[in-house]
Amino acid sequence: MEVKNVKLKLSVGEALVILAISLAIIGIGIIHYEMTPHIPILGAMLVLIIYGRMKGLTFSIIEKAMINGAAPGLGAIYIFFFIGMLISSWMASGTIPTLMFYGFEYISGGSFFAIVFLSTSLIGLCIGSSLTTSATVGVAFIGMATALDFSLAITAGAIISGAFFGDKMSPLSDTTNLASETVGVPLFEHIRNMLWTTIPAFLISLVLFFILSPNKKVVGAKEMDEMVSALSTHTTISLWSLLPFIIVGGLAMKKVSAIPTLSAGIITAIIITFFTSPDVTLTGIADILYSGFSLNSGVEQLDSIVSRGGITSMMFSISLVILALGMGGLLFELGIIPAILEAVKKTLTNVGRLVTATVLTGVGVNFLAGEQYLSILLPGKTFDQEYEKMGLKAKSLARVLEDSGTVVNPLVPWGVCGVFLTQVLGVSTVEYAPFALFCILCPLLSLLSGWTKIGLHFK
């Protein structure tokens, strides 16, 4: 989606009115009427289609805009299929139950949320993927929180905060590499420069998660013992079951691309399942990969935790991502986003305003287009010359792009990451967003940096 190739040239006033109507339809539908996001987004798309026709665009142009908008998300959609199979196969092989089993043994309730944040931060940093981290160890932590009756919203917020810290700071992360490449900054120089806002956000988040963690007395030994006993009785608990997790982590650290890495984790889990569950057939494995793993142990709480995954579990996410990205394509093709960006550029009279505009654009693209990569690429290409004019080094722009692009997408109910995380963790975006502390703090600290000039680098 190139801003220069849009079909309509709108005034900023007209663009804001159409945008406000579209967002109002989505906001009222999702928040007030508590609809699933699909219908409100379809309603907003219908308004945009009617507006496009009123402006003289043909249906073929409008349809092409929706297709072009959805195209950048196809890679994520294919990864969703594989992660769905990864979760179900790891449940069947005992990988996630084993992580939960040992977690119950060693994790203290008194600092539970802080430990979740630290653990997912470390794993995310090692493998460079927030979604994979959340879909594996994140699911295990959600299971533990469910069993111990801890807040699932705070647990999900801690998981996502840690996973996106790791994703943001890892040299293996695709978004980190994308931000450095977009503005032409060496990767490790970019990572070092992100420390200005990332370390304060990390430390503040850690302290807050310690404060939010439940008192040790909340953790009943009886409830914990019952869950550990149920896990060992009805699921596979074995150190061999951790092999798929180790393989996925190792391949990610070697920078093997996502689909081969996930495939290796799935295949290893299937092999382990055949050895640990001799009664499982090839047809049974295929059903697990497609429909998800189902446990009927008679222990209702354990069944609800472990029965998940499969390709079908991703269909809600995939359909919503396609709709949201299609809406983003319409907003671009109709000239709504380009008109607003051009108006913003005219107000850039100092460094504070420039950084603020970059942050707001990154956040805005996340909410309007729902796409993480676009929230890095579009502001990067829009404001690179403005940073040059202000005498700022390119690495300053790269850091702001990550602060307002990479970590904001999980806060968007219809964003690619937000949809996926809601599906795999079982906690709605609206519920966990206030507790995704790291994701909230990064853009705020970036704004503070822009106005104080702390952490900005001039030529």
Please list the pLDDT of the chain residue by residue as tens digits (459 residues). Answer: 555 566 788 999 999 999 899 989 988 888 788 788 889 989 999 999 999 999 999 999 999 999 988 887 788 788 889 989 999 999 999 999 998 888 877 776 678 999 999 999 999 998 888 998 999 899 999 988 988 889 999 999 999 999 999 999 998 788 898 888 888 889 889 999 999 999 999 999 999 999 999 875 544 556 667 778 888 999 999 999 999 999 988 888 887 888 898 999 999 999 999 999 989 999 999 999 999 999 988 878 788 888 989 999 889 888 888 888 888 889 989 999 889 888 888 889 899 999 999 999 999 989 987 878 888 988 988 899 899 999 999 999 999 999 998 899 999 998 889 999 999 999 999 999 999 999 999 999 999 999 999 989 898
**Number of neighbours of residue 110 by Cβ within 10 angstroms:** 15
Give CA 414 to chain center in angstroms. Answer: 11
Q: What pLDDT is recorded for position 1?
A: 52
Q: What pLDDT is recorded for position 217?
A: 53
SS3 assignment for the chain: CCHHHCCCCCCHHHHHHHHHHHHHHHHHHHHHCCCCCHHHHHHHHHHHHHHHHHCCCCHHHHHHHHHHHHHHHHHHHHHHHHHHHHHHHHHHHCHHHHHHHHHHHHCCHHHHHHHHHHHHHHHHHHHCCHHHHHHHHHHHHHHHHHHCCCCHHHHHHHHHHHHHHHHHHCCCCHHHHHHHHHHCCCHHHHHHHHHHHHHHHHHHHHHHHHHHCCCHHHCCHHHHHHHHHHHHHHCCCCHHHHHHHHHHHHHHHCCCCHHHHHHHHHHHHHHHHHHHCCCCCHHHHHHHHHHCCCCCCCCHHHHHHHCCCCHHHHHHHHHHHHHHHHHHHHHHHCCHHHHHHHHHHCCCCCHHHHHHHHHHHHHHHHHHHCCHHHHHHHHHHHHHHHHHHCCECHHHHHHHHHHHHHCCHHHCCCCHHHHHHHHHHCCCHHHHHHHCHHHHHHHHHHHHHHHHCCCCCEC
110 phi and psi angles, rounded to 5 deg: -65, -20
Q: Give burial (CB, 10 Å; 0-12/13-18/19+) of 352.
A: middle
Q: What pLDDT is recorded for position 321?
A: 80
Q: CA 317 → CA 80, 81, 324, distances in Å?
A: 8, 10, 10
CA angle, corner 379, sides to 375 and 382, nearest 5? 145
By the 8 A CB rule, do 362 and 405 touch?
Answer: yes
Q: CA 69 → CA 23, 374, 381, distances in Å?
A: 17, 10, 18
251 phi and psi angles, rounded to 5 deg: -65, -40
pTM of model > 0.75: yes
Give CA 265 to chain center in angstroms. Answer: 20
Distance in angstroms (rounded) separating the CA atoms of residues 229 and 232:
5
By the 8 A CB rule, do 262 and 86 touch?
Answer: yes
End-to-end CA distance of the chain: 31
By the 8 A CB rule, do 169 and 202 touch?
Answer: no
Q: 112-127 vs 139-147: helix axis angle to the nearest 10?
A: 170
Q: What pLDDT is recorded for position 223?
A: 62
Distance in angstroms (rounded) separating the CA atoms of residues 143 and 303:
10
Burial 426-448 (b: 16+ CB within 10 A, else e): bbbbebbbebbbbbbbbbebbbb
Q: What pLDDT is recorded for position 216?
A: 59
Distance in angstroms (rounded) separating the CA atoms of residues 436 and 209:
10
Number of Cα atoms under 13 Å in the Cβ half of residue 339: 18
